[in-house]
């Protein structure tokens, strides 16, 4: 028992040293967006957990939550392949996947309980189509190198060859993860007239923070990712729109 206690203390001490070393690392630590980019994404996890415990299922946007589920799957692979490799980002999206799946289940159950059977079937069909599309994207990014080598053998214009050979081109996860992230902005746009009382303040705050911080992070990673930059600017704008609606609504309620 004494040996086990000593071993556990040694393991904890090593983990603490590793964590402190990672946080204080001058290249990827707390003074860089390699740290704050993933930290901003943890806001999505906190928002999902907080809404799960404190809010009813009526605040859950199935479109946005379903998109977040697929988004986190793609960004787990992105975090593993990007340079420098980002373990904090990987952990964030792993936990976010678990939290968002729980919220998605609650949201679908709620919608099915208040809609007619035909509408519930349509919702189920659209969710399945999105999942099928994400599966194809994941498969294409996984076999990207093989497809890329075959495509480069074709007699293509230099501009097209340059695009296909780019380290963040269409045969890599560095292209498909940001491309699917556009669905977060699309989902926010589709919810433009969502009843303001059903807008999740924490979720939209997290999306805004992610958008603003990741627009910087996308410019300091390898490979530099302009697609990721553009989608995060868009996400910051759409998130700010919903957050602004929510804040104005709360201010009006206080005046009344």
Q: What is the DSSP string of 188-232?
A: HHHTTTS-GGGS-HHHHHHHHHHHHHHHHHTTTSBS--HHHHHHH
Q: How far apart are CA 98 and CA 161, in angstroms?
A: 39
Residue with tokens 């690392």: 25
The most confident of the ranges 21-25, 55-59, 172-176, 210-214 is 210-214
Q: 66 falls in which pLDDT band (50, 70, 90)?
A: confident
Report the C-alpha gap between 218 and 166 in whole angstroms: 16
Which residues, including other chains, have CB under 8 Å from residue 189's CB and lie 6 or more apart?
238
Cα 21–Cα 22–Cα 26 angle in degrees, nearest 5: 90
Q: Pick from 89, 56, 23, 55: which is nearest to 228 by CA?
A: 89
CB-neighbour burial class of residue 255 (10 A; exposed 0-12, middle 13-18, buried 19+): exposed
8 Å CB contact between 250 and 218: no
User: For residue 70, which of 194, 180, 202, 207 has the smallest C-alpha distance?
Assistant: 180
Identify which has the larger pLDDT, 15 or 89: 89
pLDDT-above-90 percentage for the chain: 6
Mean pLDDT of 124-143: 52
pLDDT score at 233: 93
pLDDT, residue 119, reads 54
pLDDT of residue 120: 47
Here the tokens at position 232 are: 């995060």
User: Average pLDDT, stretch 65-84?
Assistant: 86
* Residue pointed to by tokens 């300091």: 220
pLDDT tens for residues 88-101? 888 888 998 999 89
Residues 142-178 pLDDT 10s: 555 666 666 666 777 777 767 777 677 777 878 888 8
Q: Which position has the higher pLDDT, 198 or 1?
A: 198
The most confident of 15-19, 53-57, 72-76, by mean pLDDT: 72-76
Q: Which range is most confident: 7-11, 80-84, 95-99, 125-129?
A: 95-99
Scan for tokens 């603003």, then name that residue: 212
pLDDT, mean of residues 219-225: 86
Averaged pLDDT for residues 234-245: 90
């Amino acid at each position: 028992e004494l040996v086990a206690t000593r071993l556990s203390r040694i393991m904890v001490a090593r983990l603490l040293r590793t964590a402190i070393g990672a946080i204080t690392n001058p290249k990827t630590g707390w003074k860089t967006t390699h740290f704050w980019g993933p930290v901003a994404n943890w806001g999505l996890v906190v928002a999902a957990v907080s809404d799960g415990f404190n809010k009813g299922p009526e605040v859950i946007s199935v479109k946005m939550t379903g998109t977040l589920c697929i988004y986190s799957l793609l960004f787990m692979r992105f975090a593993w392949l990007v340079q420098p490799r980002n373990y904090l980002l990987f952990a964030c999206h792993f936990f976010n996947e678990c939290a968002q799946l729980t919220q998605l289940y609650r949201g679908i159950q709620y919608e099915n309980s208040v809609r007619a059977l035909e509408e519930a079937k349509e919702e189920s069909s659209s969710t399945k189509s999105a999942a099928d599309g994400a599966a194809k994207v994941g498969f294409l990014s996984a076999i990207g190198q093989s497809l890329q080598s075959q495509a480069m053998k074709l007699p293509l214009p230099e501009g097209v060859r340059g695009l296909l050979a780019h380290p963040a081109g269409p045969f890599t996860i560095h292209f498909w993860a940001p491309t699917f992230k556009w669905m977060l902005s699309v989902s926010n746009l589709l919810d433009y007239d969502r009843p303001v009382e059903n807008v999740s303040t924490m979720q939209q705050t997290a999306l805004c923070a992610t958008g603003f911080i990741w627009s910087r992070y996308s410019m300091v990673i390898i490979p530099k990712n302009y697609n990721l930059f553009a989608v995060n600017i868009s996400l910051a704008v759409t998130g700010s729109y919903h957050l602004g609606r929510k804040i104005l609504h709360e201010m009006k309620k206080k005046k009344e």
